[in-house]
Amino acid sequence: MTSATHETNLAKTTLRAVGLLVGCCVVFVGVLSVLAVVLTGRAVASVQEGEAKTRTSETTAAAKKPLSI
């Protein structure tokens, strides 16, 4: 093996390793981002549903409350 061939193989191996590591990081961060968006969306949706139930119960209670003269 000559020195030039060895350096070429080393460069290819290094670039392949770097590409693999960068690809894994991209996939990992992508999965975490999607998970965070889904969890945040569910949390916000449950809070909004709770507020809607509170508003309807307050409206119903205000409608049933007798007015004093």
Domain ranges of the chain: 23-48
CA–CA separation, 38 vs 60, rounded Å? 33
pLDDT number for residue 48: 75
Amino acid 46: pLDDT:
79
Q: Which residues of the chain have pLDDT under 70?
A: 1-2, 50-67, 69
Q: Could you please report the per-residue DSSP string of the chain?
A: --HHHHHHHHHHHHHHHHHHHHHHHHHHHHHHHHHHHHHHHHHHHHHHHHHHHHHHHHHHHHHHSPPP-
Predicted local confidence at residue 14, as pLDDT: 95
For the question of whether the overall pTM of this predicted structure is more than 0.85, the answer is no
Q: Hey, how many other C-beta atoms are within 10 angstroms of the C-beta on 22?
A: 10
pLDDT score at 44: 87
According to the model, what pLDDT value does residue 28 have? 98
